[in-house]
Amino acid sequence: MIITEILARNSRTYKDEVALIERSPGEHSGRNSRREITWNQFYMSANKFSNALTVAGIRKGDRVVQLMTNCLEWLPIYFGILNTGAWVVPLNFRFESDKILLCTEVAEAKVFIFGEEFIERLSGIRSILDDMVDKWIFTGNPQFCPDYAIPYEVFIEEHSGELQTNVKLNIEDDAALYFTSGTTGTPKAVLLTHRNLEHACYVENNHHRQTHDDVFLCIPPLYHTGAKMHWMGSFIVGGKAVILKGVKPEWILEAVSEEKVTIVWLLVPWAHDILIAIENSKVVLANYHLEQWRLLHIGAQPVPPSLIREWKQYFPNHDYDTNYGLTESTGPGCVHLGIENSHKVGAIGLPGFDWECGIVDGEGNSLPPGESGELIVRGPGMMKAYYKNPEATHKTLINGWLYTGDIARYDREGFIWLVDRKKDVIICGGENIFPVEIEHFFMQYPKIQDIAVIGLPDDRLGEIPAGIICAKPGITLTKMEINEFGYGLPRYKRLRKIIFADVPRNATGKIEKPKLRRLYAKDSRKDIDKLLK
């Protein structure tokens, strides 16, 4: 079933029940702002936007850019675009002007929807896009609307809440362009179909067993497949969702407590922050109503087993799951641990619902348990292609399989363990070193809040492993302590360089290793040059 039809069904079935809640923590005022809409209001808002787009000339196959931070209007706008048969193009709200321009030009967008946070970033590129973009729609406070744009409320105000377009949508039709985060290079445009989006609903609901009575807390950015596709497991059963605009531990726990949240998906840094806040007595769990919270699931990056062990000390009754996925697989779920397999914490799990997996060598040959190779997957969530990039498509979609670019291995029970990104592997003196293994090892040290391990150039060994380490707040941490703890690693895996600094992560929690390599490789090169003089 096309997901716009699921929305229509939810409107009929759960008409006046709350569908979405937006919470904006009052960091300065001390008070929360809260808004909500019912399933019928959600449906009618999407229809009004669809009708307005159709009158504005948008037709099936056109592209519409959506550049917005999380808010109550985000999902109705998304569904409104899909209703027209146009492709929705959600952009990363952290993209700077150059990447916004690149993505919009690749998409050849006719309509551009944006919030007030992006006015400055658009100012230098709008004139370049004016020959392509027919309509600029502004979703922020109307008093700040630039003169070249139309306020969202004005754009939709005269249109009916009943869908008036007669566009025939087929489950195999193209639906969306999602751009990769660019953590390993330039963002690529991933073309997804309506079947891909439909499958995300089924795979997520199958994995986490959402019912209509569950309440899902959505914190990660909706532009990303991860957050939205996790929500779709609740969406398909008409479950309520809370959109939280803020990630402080107390805000998360307040939302869980006050909205009776049962399911939370966290990124690793946010889970760490909650644990630190509990340890420091910044939050006191007894002050919150958390009994109904049944499931924690984490994804978007490797999860240190030490984190989950510590989490279970404070939340022993939580089910836990980890999810592996990528934009090219319509987000999470092609591999998942399963709430029944918490004894396997550390593994990313087993093939997801309706997915197949394999681990292969450089020639595409299957590898036995214990040997590391590239993880490949296939299933209904596989992207159609990299849009306008046949070379990259040819390298990634091979004989019906999606080559993920991640290094993994099977254990003897068939569970998959993520080793590292192929591009992040460090080759030191001829030995392959997988940074994730070192990161997981050091995350066991109680003074470390975050760590990234990268390879830095070395004239003798080719590359050496370097650790960028962030200590927990208020904690003194020395290089000597780290080196002594590192004796628990094989000699060739020990850190050759230690840098105390913040670990940059993108909006979905992934470490920005290309940025770190650019920043510190230059310094490492200078050190080598000094030694050679």
Per residue in 35-48, pLDDT (tens digit) is 999 999 999 999 99
Q: Is 431-532 CATH 3.30.300.30?
A: yes
Please tell me the pTM assigned to this model: 0.83
- For residue 384, give the DSSP letter: S
> Sign of the CA dihedral 213, 193, 86, 102?
positive
Going by their DSSP bridges, the two strands 295-299 and 319-326 should be labelled as parallel
241 within 8 A of 21, measured Cβ to Cβ: yes
Please tell me the predicted confidence (pLDDT) of residue 529.
Answer: 44
Q: Are 335 and 349 in contact (CB under 8 A)?
A: yes
User: Which residues of the chain fall short of a pLDDT of 70?
Assistant: 27-31, 182-185, 300-302, 420-422, 429-431, 459-461, 507-508, 522-533
Chain Cα centroid distance, residue 389: 23
Residues in Cβ contact with 526 at an 8 Å cutoff, skipping those fewer than 6 apart: none
Assign residue 317 a region (left: φ > 0; alpha: ψ between -120 and 50; beta: otherwise): alpha
Rounded CA-CA distance 166/183 in Å is 40
Q: Where are the alpha helices (DSSP H) in 259-408?
A: 268-279, 305-314, 390-396
How would you list the strands of the sheet with 189-193, edge to edge? Answer: 150-151, 135-138, 111-114, 63-67, 87-90, 174-179, 189-193, 385-386
Q: Are 183 and 513 in contact (CB under 8 A)?
A: yes
Whole-number Å distance between alpha carbons of 87 and 161: 21
pLDDT in tens, 16-74: 999 999 999 875 445 678 999 999 999 999 999 999 999 999 999 999 999 999 999 99
**CATH superfamily of the domain spanning 1-14+25-241:** ANL, N-terminal domain (3.40.50.12780)
For the chain, give every domain's residue range. Answer: 1-14+25-241, 431-532
